[in-house]
Amino acid sequence: MTLQQDPQSWTVRDLMKFSINYLQRHGFEEARLNVELLLSHSLQCQRIELYTNFEKPLSKEELKIFRGCFERRLAHEPVQYIVGSTSFMGLQFLVDARVFIPRPETETLVEQVMLICNGLERVEPIEILDVGTGSGNIAVTVAKLLRGVHVTTMDTSTDALTVARTNAAAHGVLEKMDFEQLDVFGSIETSFKVPFDILVSNPPYVSGLEWNDLQPEVRHFEPQAAVSDREDGYKYYRRLAQIAPRLLREDGAAVMEVGAGQAERVERLFRDSGFTDLRAVPDLQDIPRIVVGVWRT
């Protein structure tokens, strides 16, 4: 990025116009949103304040901070990692290179968990297990928005659990959550004291072959183990279908996010394991995105 002018001559308006055009010319999507997020982060203000302070000149230090952020974006580093946070269901979550960045389609997953919880008539807390919690966005959101729930998170990554715990603390739900470092392919069935009402998971479902075709923002920056199973894309679903019956109570539900085109096969895996009432729920793009099944002996 070339900013040869005197720093004092760069106003918010000028810098936004220059940066948006620069990103567009270099093939970046959502150029305006990118610049708004990077500039509001650099100026430590809300995005709306950029438009109410169009003529504000940037100081030399502010311009230096923005230039550094902008250059990182030009290298295809995700904006969320640069600014250190992302929005999920209206809540802000810490994210960095230790965790996968929450996607909008996962909000449909949380909505299904909330609907199931609201339909349960229980006195004791509803017990939920979040397998592969990552940043904790699913678990923390459920704990934040629902009363009478207790969420156990599990992940193999100590770094991810640290991020999840930080997000839980930020949203005031630590007392409603537990954090377990466990491998879903290990002997986890005896690791928990109570059966769960809901098992929820957004597992790595990108195949090893598909990984090579992902955009550089994902391939070069997000943790591969959180995105791809490095096999056929169904490795984790096969395991979840195997262990879910031993983790759920009678009439407990498994709720999973799946990739485009995966719903039918995932439903079949869980049907073969004894699950009933299987259904696929579409996301806002009308892609079958969430598979729900009920465990009955």
Cβ atoms of 66 and 134 closer than 8 Å: no
Q: Which pLDDT score is estimated for 64? A: 95
Nearest to 248 by CA among 180, 205, 290, 188: 188
CATH of the domain at 23: 1.10.8
Are both 119 and 238 inside the same structural domain? yes
Q: Which pLDDT score is estimated for 112? A: 98
Are both 131 and 41 inside the same structural domain? no
Enter the tokens of residue 230. 């490095």
Enter the tokens of residue 103. 């996607």
Are both 30 and 92 inside the same structural domain? no
Are both 248 and 203 inside the same structural domain? yes
**Rounded-to-integer distance, Cα 257 and Cα 280, Å:** 10
Query: Which residues contact residue 103 at a Cβ distance below 8 angstroms, ignoring those fewer than 6 apart?
Result: none
- Identify whether 1 is part of a domain: no
From 40, 55, 75, the end of a domain falls on 75
Enter the tokens of residue 107. 């909000």
**Rounded-to-integer distance, Cα 98 and Cα 64, Å:** 26
Cβ atoms of 151 and 142 closer than 8 Å: yes
290, amino acid identity: I
Q: Which pLDDT score is estimated for 297? A: 82
- 87 beta partners: 92
Q: Which pLDDT score is estimated for 4? A: 52
Enter the tokens of residue 122. 């229980």
Cβ atoms of 259 and 105 closer than 8 Å: no
In terms of DSSP H, where are the helices of the chain?
Answer: 12-25, 31-43, 47-52, 60-74, 79-83, 106-118, 137-145, 158-170, 208-211, 216-219, 224-227, 235-247, 263-272
Cβ atoms of 290 and 257 closer than 8 Å: yes
Are both 131 and 231 inside the same structural domain? yes
31-69 b/e with 16+ CB inside 10 Å = b?
beebbbbbbbbbbeeeeeebeeeeebbbeeebbebbbeb
Q: 204 to each of 224, 233, 258, 285, how far by Cα in Å?
A: 9, 7, 9, 20
The torsion region of residue 194 among left (phi > 0), alpha (psi -120 to 50) and beta comes to beta
Q: What secondary structure letter does DSSP report for 228?
A: B
Cβ atoms of 50 and 12 closer than 8 Å: yes
Are both 95 and 215 inside the same structural domain? yes
Enter the tokens of residue 55. 């003529």
From 50, 75, 100, the end of a domain falls on 75
Query: Which residues contact residue 59 at a Cβ distance below 8 angstroms, ignoring those fewer than 6 apart?
Result: 7, 8
Are both 127 and 25 inside the same structural domain? no
Are both 227 and 129 inside the same structural domain? yes
From 75, 95, 115, the end of a domain falls on 75
- Identify whether 2 is part of a domain: no
Q: Which pLDDT score is estimated for 197? A: 97
* Total structural domains within the chain: 2
Q: Which domain holds residue 52?
A: 7-75
56, amino acid identity: K
Residue at token pair 């994210």: 95
Q: Which pLDDT score is estimated for 2? A: 53
CATH of the domain at 285: 3.40.50.150
Are both 134 and 71 inside the same structural domain? no
Are both 61 and 91 inside the same structural domain? no
DSSP 3-state percent helix, strand, coil across the chain (nearest 5): 45, 20, 35
Are both 170 and 61 inside the same structural domain? no
Tell me the pLDDT of the chain (297 aa) as tens digits: 555 545 557 999 999 999 999 999 999 999 999 999 999 999 999 999 999 999 999 999 999 999 999 999 999 999 999 999 999 999 999 999 999 999 999 999 999 999 999 999 877 899 999 999 999 999 999 999 999 999 999 999 999 999 999 999 999 999 999 999 999 999 988 899 889 999 999 999 999 999 999 999 999 999 999 999 999 999 999 999 999 999 999 999 999 999 999 999 999 999 999 999 999 999 999 999 999 999 998
Are both 101 and 234 inside the same structural domain? yes
